[in-house]
């Protein structure tokens, strides 16, 4: 019996293909949005997490503050007051800070044999590699002794190494390169690092900060200080400690603004993941609304269908169909519509999720939860919005239905 | 049988009349003081005004009368498609007035076969499937359903067109399908409302002959019509006027055949 009722419903859907498709559209879009939004959510969460890890999650970046004169903001980098001594003091005095590395940056011409290129020269200390999670491909990183002695030694980023030593068969370690005409000995080459945004970490050369200040910038200040907190839990404490240490060292009056600025990587990343979360919510909202609209569409068409088939309902009732049979027939029809819509939406959305997965290299993004959720939701919508038209059909009086023109 | 063509009283259980054999059988339809009122815009129309009527198993009855006399309303009552405002109706021992809608559906399914003026076949559905429908609601197994539907279609002379849809059949053929559908569940009563109203005179003859055959095979048939030529085929004619039975008339079998 059930099978026959299903056949009747199926026939009615098939005899109105275009209308059935348009009816399903809302559900199709809704399910598509559910699947895609979960895929995008997973994908962006994954990429944010991997960035957190690649950056080293506990890093605080101390940069120069906004130098303000007469209300005009000169932006970043105006007049740095940070020094190597500041970095040392922070590391020594602040209990929640593990390590610090000063950063003095400059761009310079680098030559090896016939090869030459322009590179970012980062003057720093031995802690830089630890803070930035840098591993060495060859040789070693800068040592504390290199910094104290202002040694003319350099650690190359992987890309710089390839440019400078292209065509050179031997190991770069121990070779001599010229930076701005000054000879440096290569003591190590860093392994290739993941790009973490705008700057390419493989494109730089690290030398002792003292050497950089003496030979290249000629300045006693540094452009940045990197500090790592002892754990991600004490990031905020570390930031407060650094602030007070620097204010004392820089002899700032209580009313004066900070002449430095501390950026908390975790804060940026949590803001980023907040944005991706918001995006997911937005898509979820769109899916919920379009599923709802889809449901209303189904109800609308089912009501039209009940009216169109009033006579058919009358015939069936006259011949002996009970109320339950009539309502089941229409309920099955709206269920079939919503399920078919869900299936089409799944196919399209699932395809989209796979494409997103390929592009973002996050692998399979078609989460079973999303699929189950979408199907359950559509079935619920088919039922909820099918009940009213089905009841309306079932409650028609046979004589009224038969007389209907 | 006597050729009495007189006016008969409508008294219940009167064992007199030309078709005495039918009267000796048990009562199938027992209507007492049936009233049906319609209210349109605050106005009340009394379509049935206290009708009393009995029909026995095996009878062939025509309900006749001018337009608006309440024939169709009576028909809907007899067919359990509508419920009376007041009065009693007992169909084959079942008191219809107090029944729930689902019980009425079952009763229609088991006891009544309908033939409508406009055929009322399901469109886009083959003749065979249309005839199977009452058995589907009766829960007859699929294979038996198919067999009995084919039998019924052969019986009404449509063995060749079983798989055609209604729109591929002529009016007469469609009415044969609906007659097959009406008799396939072996109902106690075949109820036809103006069954020839949409047919030409030749087809009308064919369909009426089919009803006569079914009557001879023992079926109880009630036909509503306003055409005398149609009514004459019945053994008893109940004349309606202004929502009540005006008079009853017993036709001579020979008079019916002479047409
Ligand atoms: N559904 C209805 N609503 C209101 N009035 C009706 C309805 N059906 C029938 N009537 C009225 O009841 C009376 C009897 O109608 P009906 O039984 O159809 O007569 P007949 O079939 O003999 O022509 C008529 O006056 C008609 O207008
Ligand atoms: Mg009528």
Cβ-Cβ contacts under 8 Å, B185 against chain A: 320
Instruction: State which of A224, A258, A292 marks the end of a domain.
Output: A258
Which residue range(s) make up the domain with B199?
Answer: 59-70+101-258
Measured distance CA(B32)–CA(B77) in Å, rounded: 12
A131-183: pLDDT as tens digits: 888 889 999 999 999 999 999 999 999 888 888 998 888 899 999 999 999 99
Nearest Cα residue to atom 18 of ligand 1: B72
Regarding whether A203 and A172 lie in a shared domain, the answer is: yes
**B255 pLDDT band (50/70/90 cuts)?**
very low
- With CB atoms and an 8 Å threshold, state whether A323 touches B101: yes
Do A398 and A276 share a structural domain?
yes
Q: Is residue B143 part of a domain?
A: yes
Across residues B71-88, what is the average pLDDT? 93
| Last residue in a domain, options A237, A258, A279 | A258
Query: Residue B150 falls within a domain, yes or no?
Result: yes
Confidence band for B253, pLDDT divided at 50, 70 and 90: low
In-domain check, residue A130 = yes
What's the mean pLDDT when you consider all of chain B? 87
pLDDT band at A12 (very low <50, low <70, confident <90, very high): confident
Residue B191: pLDDT over 70 = yes
With a threshold of 0.90, tell me whether the complex ipTM lies above it.
Answer: no
Residue B227: partners with Cβ closer than 8 Å, 6 or more residues away: B196
For ligand 2, the distance from its centroid to the CA atom of residue B7, given in whole angstroms, is: 24
pLDDT, mean over chain A: 85
Q: Are residues A184 and A321 in the same domain?
A: no
CATH number, residue B155: 3.40.50.300
Please report, for residues A314, B99, B111, B133, B177, the alpha-carbon distance to residue B138 in angstroms, rounded to integers and kept in the order given: 17, 18, 11, 9, 19
Both tokens assigned to A95? 């209990």
Could you tell me if residue A322 is inside a domain? yes
The pick from B39, B72, B81, B245 for probing ligand 1's pocket by mutation, whose C-beta has the most ligand atoms within 8 angstroms, reads B72
Phi, psi of A121 (to 5 degrees): -100, 115
A30 CB contacts (<8 Å, ≥6 apart)? A287, A288, A289, A290, A291, A292, A293, A294, A345, A374, A377, A378
Write b or e for each residue in A354-367: b if 16 or more Cβ atoms lie within 10 A of its Cβ, otherwise e: eebbeebebeebbe
pLDDT at residue A198 tops 50: no
> For position A54, what pLDDT does the model report?
62
- Answer yes or no: is pLDDT of A233 > 70: yes
Ligand 1 atom closest to B69 (CA): 22
In a domain, A249, yes or no: yes
Backbone region of residue A154 per phi and psi (left: phi > 0; alpha: psi in -120 to 50; beta: other values): beta
Do A109 and A140 share a structural domain? Answer: yes
Residue A336 lies in a domain: yes
Whether residues A115 and A214 fall in one domain: yes
Q: What is the pLDDT of residue A290?
A: 82
Q: How confident is the model at residue B237 (pLDDT cuts 50, 70, 90)?
A: very high
pLDDT for position A170? 87
Is B84's Cβ below 8 Å from some Cβ in A?
Answer: no
The verdict on B134 touching A (C-beta cutoff 8 Å) is yes
Beta-carbon separation of B124 and A11 below 8 A: yes
Cα distance between residue B98 and residue A163, in whole Å? 98
Q: How confident is the model at residue A52 (pLDDT cuts 50, 70, 90)?
A: low
Is B138's CB within 8 Å of A325's CB? no
Alpha helices in chain B (DSSP H): 20-23, 71-78, 101-111, 127-138, 142-155, 171-183, 201-216, 228-231, 253-258
Q: Which of residues 149-208 of B touch A (CB under 8 A)?
A: 181, 185
Q: Domain tally for chain A?
A: 2
Q: What is the pLDDT of residue A2?
A: 80
The set of protein residues with a Cβ atom below 6 angstroms from ligand 1 is B 38, 40, 45, 47, 65, 67-73
Do A41 and A110 reside in the same domain of the chain? Answer: no
State the average pLDDT over residues B181-200. Answer: 92
Higher pLDDT, B254 or B61: B61
Question: Domain tally for chain B?
Answer: 1
Task: Specify the pLDDT at position B187.
Answer: 94
- Kindly state whether A4 is in contact with chain B, defined as any CB-CB distance less than 8 angstroms: yes
Shortest CB distance from A312 goes to which of B122, B134, B137? B122
At A53 the pLDDT is 60
In a domain, B83, yes or no: no
Q: Which of A225, A258, A291 delimits the end of a domain?
A: A258
Identify the pLDDT of residue A217.
81
Q: Is residue A190 part of a domain?
A: yes
**Least trusted range by pLDDT, from A260-264, B9-13, B155-159:** B9-13
- Reported pTM: 0.69
Whole-number pLDDT of residue A71? 44
Helix (H, G, I), strand (E, B) or coil at A218: coil
CA A225, A226, A231, A236: dihedral to nearest 10 degrees? Answer: 50
Give the ligand with the smallest distance to the CA of B65.
1
Q: Tens of pLDDT along A240-262?
A: 999 999 999 999 888 888 889 88
- pLDDT value at position A362? 65
Residue B171 lies in a domain: yes
- Asked whether residue B193 is assigned to any structural domain, the reply reads yes
CB contact under 8 A, B105 and A311: no
Give residue B201 CA to ligand 1 midpoint distance, Å: 26
Across the range B134-149, mean pLDDT stands at: 94
Decide if A124 contacts A142 (C-beta within 8 A).
yes
Whether B17 has a pLDDT exceeding 70, the answer reads no
Residue B227, pLDDT above cutoff 60:
yes
pLDDT of A269 above 80: no
Report the pLDDT value the prediction gives residue B258, as an integer from 0 to 100: 39
Judgement on whether residues A274 and A397 belong to the same structural domain of the protein:
yes
Assess if residue A244 is contained within a domain: yes
Enclosing domain of residue A279: 2-51+270-403
Average pLDDT over every residue of B140-161: 93
* Listed residues: CB within 5 A of ion ligand 2: B 72
- B226 CA: nearest ligand 1 atom: 22
B75 C-alpha to ligand 2 centroid (Å): 9
Each residue's pLDDT tens digit, A350-392? 888 888 777 766 666 677 888 888 888 888 999 999 999 999 9
CB A111: neighbour CB atoms within 10 A? 15
Question: Which are the contacts of A294, defined by CB distance < 8 A and separation ≥ 6?
Answer: A24, A25, A26, A27, A28, A29, A30, A338, A341, A381
Is B192 contained in some domain?
A: yes
Please indicate whether residue A395 or residue A197 has the higher confidence score (pLDDT).
A395
pLDDT, position B128? 95
Residue B177 belongs to a domain = yes
**Exposure on the CB side of residue A235, measured as CA atoms within 13 A:** 16
Is the residue at B140 inside a domain?
yes
Could you tell me the sign of the dihedral formed by the alpha carbons of A180, A181, A187, A188, in that order? positive
Task: Note whether A318 contacts B101, CB cutoff 8 Å.
Answer: no
């Amino acid at each position: 019996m059930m099978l026959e009722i299903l056949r009747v419903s199926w026939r009615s859907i098939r005899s109105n293909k275009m209308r059935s498709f348009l009816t399903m559209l809302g559900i199709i879009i809704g399910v598509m949005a559910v699947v895609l939004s979960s895929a995008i959510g997973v994908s962006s969460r994954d990429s944010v997490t991997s960035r957190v890890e690649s950056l080293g999650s506990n890093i605080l970046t101390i940069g120069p503050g906004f130098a303000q004169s007469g209300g005009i903001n000169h932006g970043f980098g105006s007049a740095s007051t940070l020094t190597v001594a500041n970095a040392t003091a922070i590391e020594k005095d602040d209990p929640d800070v593990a390590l610090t590395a000063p950063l003095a940056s400059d761009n310079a011409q680098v030559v090896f044999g016939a090869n030459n290129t322009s590179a970012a020269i980062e003057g720093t200390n031995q802690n830089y590699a630890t803070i930035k999670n840098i591993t060495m491909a060859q040789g070693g990183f800068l040592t504390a002794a290199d910094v104290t002695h202002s040694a003319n030694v350099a650690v190359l980023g992987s890309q710089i190494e390839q440019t400078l030593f292209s065509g050179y068969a031997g190991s770069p370690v121990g070779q001599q390169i010229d930076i701005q005409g000054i000879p440096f000995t290569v003591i190590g080459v860093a392994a290739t690092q993941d790009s973490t945004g705008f700057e390419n970490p493989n494109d730089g050369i690290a030398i002792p900060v003292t050497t950089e200040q003496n030979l290249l910038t000629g300045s006693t200040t540094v452009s940045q200080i990197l500090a790592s907190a002892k754990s991600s839990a004490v990031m905020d404490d570390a930031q407060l400690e650094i602030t007070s240490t620097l204010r004392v060292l820089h002899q700032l009056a209580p009313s004066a603004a900070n002449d430095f600025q501390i950026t908390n990587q975790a804060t940026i990343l949590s803001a980023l993941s907040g944005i991706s979360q918001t995006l997911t919510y937005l898509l979820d909202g769109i899916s919920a609304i379009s599923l709802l609209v889809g449901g209303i569409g189904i109800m609308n068409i089912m009501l039209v269908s009940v009216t169109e088939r009033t006579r058919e309902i009358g015939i069936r009732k006259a011949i002996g169909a009970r109320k339950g049979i009539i309502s089941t027939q229409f309920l099955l029809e709206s269920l079939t519509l919503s399920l078919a819509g869900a299936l089409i939406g799944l196919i399209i959305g699932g395809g989209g999720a796979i494409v997103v997965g390929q592009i973002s290299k996050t692998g399979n993004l078609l989460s079973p939860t999303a699929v189950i959720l979408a199907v359950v939701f559509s079935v619920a919508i088919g039922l909820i919005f099918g009940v009213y038209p089905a009841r309306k059909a079932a409650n028609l009086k046979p004589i009224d239905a038969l007389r209907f023109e | 049988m006597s050729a009495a063509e007189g006016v008969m009283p409508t008294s219940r259980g009167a064992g007199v009349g030309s078709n005495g054999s039918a009267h000796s059988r048990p009562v199938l339809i027992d209507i007492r003081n049936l009233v049906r009122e319609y209210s349109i815009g605050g106005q009340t129309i009394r379509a049935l005004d206290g009708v009393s009527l009995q029909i026995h198993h095996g009878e062939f009855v025509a309900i006749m009368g001018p337009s608006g006399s309440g024939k169709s309303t009576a028909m809907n009552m007899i067919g359990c498609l509508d419920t009376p405002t007041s009065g009693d109706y007992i169909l084959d021992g079942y008191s219809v007035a107090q029944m729930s809608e689902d019980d009425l559906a079952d009763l229609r399914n088991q006891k009544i076969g309908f033939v409508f003026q406009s055929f009322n076949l399901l469109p886009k559905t083959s003749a065979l499937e249309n005839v199977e429908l009452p058995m589907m609601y009766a829960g007859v197994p699929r294979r038996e359903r198919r067999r009995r539907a084919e039998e019924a279609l052969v019986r009404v002379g449509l063995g060749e067109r079983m798989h055609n849809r209604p729109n591929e059949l002529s009016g007469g053929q469609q009415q044969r399908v609906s007659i097959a559908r009406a008799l396939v569940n072996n109902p106690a009563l075949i109820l036809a409302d103006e069954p020839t109203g949409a047919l030409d005179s030749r087809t009308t003859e064919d369909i009426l002959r089919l009803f006569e055959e079914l009557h001879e095979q023992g079926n109880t048939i009630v036909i509503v019509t306003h055409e005398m030529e149609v009514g004459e085929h019945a053994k008893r004619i109940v004349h309606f006027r202004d929502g009540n039975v005006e008079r009853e008339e017993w036709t001579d079998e020979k008079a019916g055949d002479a047409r």
